[in-house]
Structure 1
Amino acid sequence: MSNDDLDLAGKPKNEPLSPEGMAAEWATMPDMLVEEGEQDGGTDRLMSQDEIDTMLGFSVGGDDRDARNGIQAIVDSGSVAYERLPMLEIIFERLVRLLSTSLRNFFTDNVEVSLESIRSVRFGDYINSISLPAMLSVFKAEEWDNFGLITIESSLIYSVLDTMFGGKRGQPAPRVDGRPFTSIEINMLKRVIALILSDAEAAFKPLSPVRFTVDRIESNPRFVSISRPANAAIRVELKFDMEGRGGCLHLLLPYATIEPIRELLLESFMGEKLGRDAIWENHLATEVWQTDVAVTCVLHETQMPLKRVMKLEIGDTLMFDARPDSTVALRCGDFIVSEGRIGRVDDKIAVQVVSPLRRSKTTIAAFDSATSHLGSTS
């Protein structure tokens, strides 16, 4: 019998193995493979668990995206990090300030709102991570023609209800599990959600006016499919503290929702795209107000053939169809700015303005749009 007819353990290949023999063969196989690799001068070896985790990208303990590698980094490369949209953090910081004032007035109590984190997540992963019971509010951005999601955790729900119904301060709100929310509780939470959406509108208004309206209230995450599970979204976590009571609220905006204002969110600060300098604007306005402008008073205008003009001689009289009480035109260059009547003040001829100044129909916005259009077609 040749060596080719023997297996790794030195037994005939066709001979059936008992269960004990098969277990022994599998146990000695890694050592035999390592020895063969060393004898042949190769580098084949088994990978350790740490190396496998590193290759898959799960060896990093934290959630820092910059430290991820391997397959996990390839998977996450399809998600756009929120750091590429600098205006988002400014808008949500403004939302926190507005909410702190609005909720204090609403609850007539001290409410502290803080921005915990802004992360890019996949919609399906976020839905699977929601801990129940929770209140899920789907809202629609009318101008952007898409939806967003507000998730209120159970601890914040019971804290809000306890505060609104006159609970004692400094004590955690009682939590009742195993029952759905009543219609009274849902209606009370709708008022809080409407207040949050109103402040969110005010936070986005300097960048892009938008109106948020509540579409529906759900308690099951399966019924809030406003985006595909693999699509990316921005998750904003806000923490509410009401003197020992409180919880977290999540505001989720899919990337498809904020796509209409993506160009504005790419700016480093509001108004960057306009490229204006307020100091020079004020200086130019001051100089314009102090500029001397020549105004011409036109008594009357008439038209005549050129051949008649060529025949005019000294002493000829031209008849104008104007009466003593007729108005005269006040011109600045080729433009009529107003109308007036001729009069006299002491020994000087004066003109009394009888109609308001005619303002230019070209506004700053129209001028900017016309300039951008010419720049795009040139």
Structure 2
Amino acid sequence: MSDADTVDTEAEAGAAEDGGEAGLSERVLNQDEIDSLLGFDLGDDDGSDRSGIRAIINSALVSYERLPMLEIVFDRLVRLMTTSLRNFTSDNVEVSLDNISSIRFGDYLNSIPLPAILAVFRAEELDNYGLLTVDSNLIYSIVDVLLGGRRGTAALRIEGRPYTTIERMLVQRMIEVVLADAQAAFEPLTPVHFNLDRLETNPRFAAIARPANAAILVKLRIDMEDRGGRVELLLPYSTLEPIRKMLLQQFMGEKFGRDNIWESHLATELWTTETEVRAVLEEQQMPLQKVLDLKVGDTLMLNAGPDSEISVRCGSIPVTTGRMGRKGQHIAVRIERPISVETASRLTGGKR
């Protein structure tokens, strides 16, 4: 092989290498890589493992794990619903908690599988609303069970038609049972009444918060042997805000805010605390010029007599009154009245 052939071969190899690098630099992302970058995954129904830009956007959402008492309340709700729905349907009902997550209200409305019945209820003491969604599978299952459908047969579903009055009334009875259980689940934490406001089938008419507002979503699964469906309970954070301090507790007993060891230690320290008490014989008001003219040897005339009451004060707060006297070689004050409740409240800053 000649030197010219060698040069041509090296030139072709260099051109091929440059072309490969250009091809790599111009490579286009496929759809899976784009979805991974943006954080969208069609196979992820609950959205628990979001990544990419979607995770950055949703990072502003408050995680329900920061409200540990919520999980206790919803576990109690599951137990109560299992018993009440068994009595309601006279069937073997199993209720399970799928998951608890944080979601934006607008995203939830767009993700509701239709057809469904949406129940808007009002939390009276919290002065706000919540949303309860019943999917179509559970609606037809409840109707089938309450109207005497035989076991082992799937509930008949007729798509494309609105729910009848009978179906809506039967589902409304079940929703009232669920709301009563939710009220009982919150009872140990705080008294709250959940009153059904209206039933909707269009998510646009069930808007109880702004689309960007955060909310707690609780997904419950109800199984009646071979039938069942899902119930979703949504509570906006604005609804839970009045009881947020209670939901931050680690356990139910913490709501009393008491620590026996700390109370005993505080009481011991208070009993051994020394405080300065002043006995005021009399108070007079005089012009500042007269005070500035006082000299050594001047006499101030007091209107208090031997039997006059003396004000006993702690700082600037009057505590009680007494009488001046003598005990041995010391001047003493005999307390005449007990410390009033109003005075004790002022001394402790309004806390008893």
Shorter-normalised TM range: 0.5 to 0.7
- Name the CA shift for 1:177/1:373 in 2 (closer, same or farther; >3 Å): farther
CA distance in structure 2 between the partners assigned to 1:371 and 1:177 by the alignment: 68
Q: Identity of paired residues, percent?
A: 57
Query: Which one-letter code corresponds to 2:142 in the other structure?
Result: V
Match of 1:214 among 196, 217, 224: 196
CA distance in structure 1 between the partners assigned to 2:127 and 2:212 by the alignment: 20
The residue that corresponds to 2:53 in the other structure is 71
CA distance in structure 2 between the partners assigned to 1:207 and 1:126 by the alignment: 27
Match of 1:140 among 102, 118, 122: 122
CA distance in structure 1 between the partners assigned to 2:46 and 2:226 by the alignment: 30
The residue that corresponds to 1:202 in the other structure is 184
Deviation (angstroms), 1:148: 0.7
Q: CA RMSD in A?
A: 3.6
Counterpart contact for 1:235–1:250, Cα < 8 Å? yes
Q: Which stretch of the first structure deviates more once superposed, 47-56 or 105-114? A: 47-56
- Name the CA shift for 1:246/1:38 in 2 (closer, same or farther; >3 Å): closer
Query: Which one-letter code corresponds to 2:115 in the other structure?
Result: P
CA distance in structure 2 between the partners assigned to 1:141 and 1:229 by the alignment: 20
Query: Which one-letter code corresponds to 1:256 in the other structure?
Result: S
Deviation (angstroms), 1:183: 1.8
Q: Does 1:99 align with 2:81?
A: yes
CA distance in structure 2 between the partners assigned to 1:264 and 1:111 by the alignment: 31
Q: Does 1:249 align with 2:231?
A: yes
Instruction: Determine helix, strand or coil for the equivalent of 2:101.
Output: strand
CA distance in structure 2 between the partners assigned to 1:266 and 1:371 by the alignment: 28
CA distance in structure 1 between the partners assigned to 2:231 and 2:40 by the alignment: 28
The residue that corresponds to 1:175 in the other structure is 157
CA distance in structure 1 between the partners assigned to 2:115 and 2:165 by the alignment: 15
Counterpart contact for 1:117–1:236, Cα < 8 Å? yes
Deviation (angstroms), 1:208: 1.5
Deviation (angstroms), 1:184: 2.2
Q: Does 1:164 align with 2:146?
A: yes
- What TM-score do the two structures reach when normalised by structure 2? 0.65
The residue that corresponds to 1:184 in the other structure is 166
Q: Does 1:227 align with 2:209?
A: yes
Counterpart contact for 1:60–1:68, Cα < 8 Å? no
Q: Which stretch of the first structure deviates more once superposed, 72-81 or 146-155? A: 72-81
Q: Does 1:114 align with 2:114?
A: no
- Name the CA shift for 1:158/1:257 in 2 (closer, same or farther; >3 Å): same
Deviation (angstroms), 1:185: 2.0
- Name the CA shift for 1:154/1:277 in 2 (closer, same or farther; >3 Å): same
Q: Which consecutive residues of structure 1, in runs of 5 or more, have no partner in the other structure?
A: 1-31, 284-304, 308-332, 336-359, 361-366
The residue that corresponds to 2:253 in the other structure is 271
- Name the CA shift for 1:156/1:58 in 2 (closer, same or farther; >3 Å): closer
* Map 1:28-67 → 2, pairs under 5 A: 35=18, 46=27, 48-49=29-30, 52-58=34-40, 62=44
Query: Which one-letter code corresponds to 2:123 in the other structure?
Result: A
Deviation (angstroms), 1:273: 5.2
Query: Which one-letter code corresponds to 2:57 in the other structure?
Result: V
Query: Which one-letter code corresponds to 1:182 in the other structure?
Result: T
Counterpart contact for 1:198–1:212, Cα < 8 Å? yes
- Name the CA shift for 1:188/1:59 in 2 (closer, same or farther; >3 Å): closer
The residue that corresponds to 2:243 in the other structure is 261
Deviation (angstroms), 1:53: 4.4
Deviation (angstroms), 1:179: 2.0
CA distance in structure 1 between the partners assigned to 2:128 and 2:215 by the alignment: 13
Q: Deviations over 1:128-185 (max 9, x none)?
A: 1222221111001111111111111111011111111111123221112222222222
Query: Which one-letter code corresponds to 1:259 in the other structure?
Result: E
Deviation (angstroms), 1:372: 8.9
